[in-house]
Amino acid sequence: MSRHSQGDGLGEAIFRHIQIPILFGTVSGRIRYANPAARALLPSGLPKCLVKVNHPRVSIAAPIDFLLLGDPFHDGRLVSLQIAFGPEHGDRFLGYEFVVNFRGEQGRAWVLLQSSQQQRQMRQLFELANLGIWAWDISSGNLLWSEEVFRMFGVASDSAPLKTSDFFDRVVARDKARTAQSVEEALESGRYDIQFDIRDGNGKRRSLHTVGLVTFSANGEPTRLVGTCQDVTDYRGDLSLLRSLVGILDRTPDMVGVIDHKGRLVYANESMMSLFGHLSVQPADRVEAPDFGRSVSNPLGVEIAQYHPDWAFARLQYEALPKAVKGGVWSGETAVLDSENCEVPVLQHVAGHIDPVSGELQQISTVMRDLRPERERNRAIRRVNSLMDAVANSVTDAFWVRLGSNIVYANHAMLEMCGSFRGQFMEHPELLADLFAEDDQEFILGLLKDDRVFEELMERNCRTGADTSPRKVLCVRASPCEFDEARQVSVVTLVDITELEVARWQLEESNQKLLRLAMEDELTGLPNRRATIRVLSAEVSRAERHGAALSIASLDLDHFKRVNDDYGHEEGDRVLSQMSAVVRARLRASDHFGRWGGEEFLIIFPETGAGAAASICEELRQAVERRFRDEAPDVTVSFGVAELQYQDAMTELLKKADAALYRAKVSGRNRVCALDAVPCSKETAEKS
């Protein structure tokens, strides 16, 4: 409805067919016109005046039919209306007021939503159905909730104006993105339907199902989203019962039908129509069902008798219908006759729906699931199990098969592994965890209880516990596979890889030994030339990066060839080993000492200048001299010290150290020489 003229004949003809009560009147409140829907609420004749009272806070309790019309009232003002029929007569209504031009003069239009009595009845119905109504004004971001929605969210109804952030703060983290995406899609499609979980004001988790429609402005922009919200926490474990309570879904694979209080079939979904092929839905006047030659004690059974074999109809007539007419729910196994008159076994739920106000039966809903696919699957499982028994028991590796949360198969090797509890494994598979080391027990229990095994391949090497003899290493591998459209199977194998692990450990030990041989001098135990070059390269890069000092020293045994010639190579090896031990014991933890080749060694001094490095080398020289002073052969060492200079490469630094060592040799040996320092002597470092 808009502010433009609605008073022409065509407009009045349209309003006569609108089922919402609409009144037109003057600015002063005198009623000039009421459509048939409004006259049905009022006594004969039009009342003389209409007293309006602003209603600043109105909980949503309007009929769902009104909400589903969309938002034709975006130009109106929500008010509480007192219609006066006389000095002592009147009734109060909730409605919208509009400024209009009616029959050539400015006036008012009022859309009546409900009277105060209807509002109370509607609230009672919503409470009985656990149903609330909400609206979201998109431009302002404000939310309007009915009392039932406030109760579901555990929020006080007198709270400050609600925003969409108040709603999303309650949605659990797992459902936030999905719920937000559903809202975005609704603003495009115009429809909103989602089930999600929230945390109410008391921290309790609730499951809500909400359905809504979007209204759009004249230029196609979404203006408001309105809908219903139902707390389905108590019903989420039974999807079939949930569907019978919140509405019938036309596309469900189950067969769904509804009969009214007179026994007429008023709804059958596609699955039911496809099975029977000859259903006659009668939404209007009753058509008497033919006589099928059966004794029908309950009038509600006349219509449904033709669709069931005798034994199944007897269950429905004497068990299901008496319970349903009292508002109860009956479940049991029955059967129906398909279009070829063949018996089809079904699991059937029958629910009666009682008017919460009058207490009278409104309709009976039934949901039936064809049991043939399930029974065929069970037969297939038995066939597969028979085949597996013949094949799997010949396999030496242990394995079990899990369907859902149940262990449905374990081969002979698996049961043998269980030992004393082999007879209990199928019923109590958690006992298997006790066979494994403590670190692996959680993983084993996860394979038995955790649904992640159905989503991805899981593999881990597990060790048996200390109580098992001999202890083993088992490769435990859980592989998911599809069983049918609804369920999946996981196969868990346990392969004894103890010998393989022992071989792997031996190989790793050999590799470590080879690595040591490749990077370590066998005689002295020092890093060899390859390892020393790696350390020097890294230290040069670090010194250049941080601007730190770096010095190296080339060390060489004096007259070592004479030691080998006079005393033999075995004695020469002893001298090298003992000299290396003397030097290594006196170096700092940050220094690196490696064998460069033959009787030549290299010392790396990080963050050390040439002077300090020379001082350390002098102490080392003296220590070596003292070690071999009183025994033959008499062993001394010479040092050549060099410091890294700006833009020096590693090769340049090594050349400088070699040059300093050569200078120490030609100056008489048994001394320390730093390149570009004072003439070499035994006390060079001290004088430097």
Helix (H) or strand (E) holding 511, with range, is helix 498-519
Q: How far apart are CA 252 and CA 245, in angstroms?
A: 15
What does the chain come to in residues? 688
Higher-pLDDT residue of 420, 550 = 550
Higher-pLDDT residue of 356, 528 = 528
| pLDDT (0 to 100) of residue 559 | 92
pTM greater than 0.85 (yes/no) = no
Instruction: Pick left, alpha or beta for residue 327 (phi over 0 → left; psi -120 to 50 → alpha; otherwise beta).
Output: left
- pLDDT over 90 for what percent of the chain? 23
Q: How far apart are CA 483 and CA 278, in angstroms?
A: 35
Query: Under a CB-based contact definition with an 8 Å cutoff, are residues 684 and 672 in contact?
Result: yes
pLDDT band with cut points at 50, 70 and 90 for residue 434: confident
Query: Under a CB-based contact definition with an 8 Å cutoff, are residues 23 and 50 in contact?
Result: yes
| pLDDT (0 to 100) of residue 524 | 92
What is the tens place of the pLDDT at every residue in 562-576?
Answer: 999 999 999 999 999
**Residue 661, both tokens:** 């060592």
From the number of C-beta atoms within 10 Å of its C-beta (0-12, 13-18, 19+), residue 372 rates as: exposed
Check whether 589 has a pLDDT greater than 50. Answer: yes
Domain at 9-117: CATH code:
3.30.450
Q: How far apart are CA 182 and CA 187, in angstroms?
A: 9
Please list the residues that pair with 595 across neighbouring strands.
Answer: 601
Check whether 317 has a pLDDT greater than 70. Answer: yes
**Residue 683, both tokens:** 């006390």
Query: Under a CB-based contact definition with an 8 Å cutoff, are residues 272 and 255 in contact?
Result: yes
Across 391-409, b (16+ Cβ under 10 Å) vs e yields: ebeeeeebbbbbeeeebeb
Instruction: Pick left, alpha or beta for residue 208 (phi over 0 → left; psi -120 to 50 → alpha; otherwise beta).
Output: beta
What is the tens place of the pLDDT at every residue in 598-616?
Answer: 999 999 999 999 999 999 9
Check whether 640 has a pLDDT greater than 90. Answer: yes
CATH 1.10.10.60 fits 520-687, yes or no: no
pLDDT band with cut points at 50, 70 and 90 for residue 459: confident
Out of 3.30.450.20, 3.40.630.30, 3.30.70.1350, 3.40.47.10, which CATH number does the structure's domain 130-236 have? 3.30.450.20
pLDDT band with cut points at 50, 70 and 90 for residue 61: very low
| pLDDT (0 to 100) of residue 63 | 38
What is the tens place of the pLDDT at every residue in 89-140?
Answer: 566 676 777 777 666 677 777 777 655 555 555 555 556 556 777 888 887 7
Average pLDDT over the chain, rounded to whole?
Answer: 78
From the number of C-beta atoms within 10 Å of its C-beta (0-12, 13-18, 19+), residue 587 rates as: middle
Least confident interval from 44-53, 59-68, 157-166, 258-267: 59-68
Residue with tokens 């070699």: 658
Domain at 392-500: CATH code:
3.30.450.20
Per-residue pLDDT, averaged over 264-289, amounts to 64
| pLDDT (0 to 100) of residue 278 | 59
| pLDDT (0 to 100) of residue 451 | 55
Check whether 327 has a pLDDT greater than 50. Answer: yes
From the number of C-beta atoms within 10 Å of its C-beta (0-12, 13-18, 19+), residue 47 rates as: buried
CB proximity list for 465: less than 8 A, separation 6 or greater: 434, 435, 436, 437, 438, 471
Report CA-CA distances (Å) from 456 to 397, 432, 447, 491, 596: 22, 22, 11, 12, 54
pLDDT band with cut points at 50, 70 and 90 for residue 545: very high
Q: Before 72, cis peptide (omega within 30)?
A: no
Of 62, 99, 57, the residue nearest 79 (C-alpha):
57
Q: How far apart are CA 117 and CA 93, in angstroms?
A: 9
Residues of the chain with CATH 3.30.450.20: 130-236, 243-370, 392-500
CATH 2.60.40.10 fits 243-370, yes or no: no
